[in-house]
Amino acid sequence: MSKNKSSAGIDGSEKRFSRILTASGAFIVVLLIAVFVTLFMSAIPAIKKFGLSFFISTSWNATAESFGALPFLVGTLLTSLLAIVIAIPFSIAISIFLGEYFKEGAISNFLRSAVEVLAGIPSVIYGLWGVFLLVPLVRSLELKLGVIPHGVGILTSSLILAIMVIPFSASLGREVISLVPGDLKEAAYSLGATRFEVMTNIVIPYARSGIIAGILLAFGRAIGETMAVTMLIGNSSFLPTSIFSPANTMASVIANQFSEATGIVASSLIYIALVLFLVTTIVNIVGNYVIRKIGIEASKEVT
Partner 1 sequence: MENTVLRVENFSAYFGDNKILKEINFTVTKNIVAALMGPSGCGKTTLIRCVNRMHELIPGAKVSGKMYLNDHDIYGMEPIVLRRMVGMVFQKPNPFPTMSIYDNVIAGYKLNGLRRPKDEFDNIVEQSLKKAALWDEVKNALHRKGTFLSGGQQQRLCIARALAMNPEILLLDEPTSALDPKSTSQIEELFVELKQNVTMLLVTHNIAQAARVSDVTAFIYLGELVESGPTEKMFTVPKDKRTEEYLTGKFG
Partner 2 sequence: MERHIGVRLVKDMAFKGLICLLAFASALPLFLILYYITKNGIAVIDWSFLLNLPRPIGETGGGIASAIVGTMMLIILSGVISIPFGIATGIYLSENKEGKLSNTVRLCVIVLQGTPSIVIGIIAYIWVVAPLKTFSAISGGIALSIMMLPVIIKTTEETLKLIPYHLKEASLALGVPYYKTILKVILPAGLSGITTGILLSVARITGETAPLLFTAFGNQFMNLNILKPIDSLPYRIFYYAMSPYPEWHTFAWGASFILVIFTLAFNLIARGISAKWKIQF
User: Is 178 among the residues that bind partner 2 (CB under 8 A)?
Assistant: no
User: Is 133 among the residues that bind partner 2 (CB under 8 A)?
Assistant: yes
User: Is 90 among the residues that bind partner 2 (CB under 8 A)?
Assistant: yes
Yes or no: say if 78 and 154 are a contact pair by the CB < 8 Å rule. yes
Least distance from C-beta 28 to partner 1, angstroms?
24
Least distance from C-beta 68 to partner 2, angstroms?
20
Stretch that binds partner 2, among 65-73, 118-126, 148-156, 206-214 (CB under 8 A): 118-126
CB nearer to partner 1: pick between 1 and 145: 1
Of the residues 58, 66, 209, 281, which one makes contact with partner 2 according to CB under 8 A: 281
Stretch that binds partner 2, among 47-55, 67-75, 117-125, 135-143 (CB under 8 A): 117-125
CB nearer to partner 2: pick between 120 and 242: 120
Cβ-proximal residues to 31 (8 Å cutoff; 6+ apart), any chain = none
User: Is 117 among the residues that bind partner 2 (CB under 8 A)?
Assistant: yes
User: Is 258 among the residues that bind partner 2 (CB under 8 A)?
Assistant: yes
2's contact among partner 1, partner 2, none, with CB below 5 to 8 A by partner kind, is: partner 1
Least distance from C-beta 10 to partner 1, angstroms?
7
User: Is 39 among the residues that bind partner 2 (CB under 8 A)?
Assistant: yes
Cβ neighbours of 252 (radius 10 Å): 26
CB nearer to partner 2: pick between 64 and 196: 196
Q: Which of residues 101-160 bind partner 1 (CB under 8 A)?
A: none
Alpha helix (H) ranges present in 182-260?
A: 182-190, 195-198, 204-206, 208-224, 227-232, 250-257
Q: Per-residue DSSP letters for 48-117? A: HHHGGGGGT---EETTTTEE--HHHHHHHHHHHHHHHHHHHHHHHHHHHIIIII-SSSHHHHHHHHHHHH
Kindly state the DSSP code that residue 238 receives in the 8-state scheme. Answer: S
Yes or no: say if 150 and 142 are a contact pair by the CB < 8 Å rule. yes
| Nearest residue to 229 via CA among 171, 272, 275, 165 | 165
Distance CA 213, CA 290 (A): 6
User: Is 57 among the residues that bind partner 2 (CB under 8 A)?
Assistant: no
CB nearer to partner 1: pick between 25 and 182: 25
Least distance from C-beta 60 to partner 2, angstroms?
17
Q: Which of residues 5-44 bind partner 1 (CB under 8 A)?
A: 5-11
Least distance from C-beta 101 to partner 2, angstroms?
7
Yes or no: say if 253 and 275 are a contact pair by the CB < 8 Å rule. no
| Nearest residue to 250 via CA among 266, 272, 217, 234 | 272
User: Is 73 among the residues that bind partner 2 (CB under 8 A)?
Assistant: no
Least distance from C-beta 8 to partner 1, angstroms?
6
Looking at this protein, which amino acid is placed at residue 186?
E
Cβ neighbours of 281 (radius 10 Å): 14
- Binding residues (CB under 8 A) for partner 1: these are 1-11
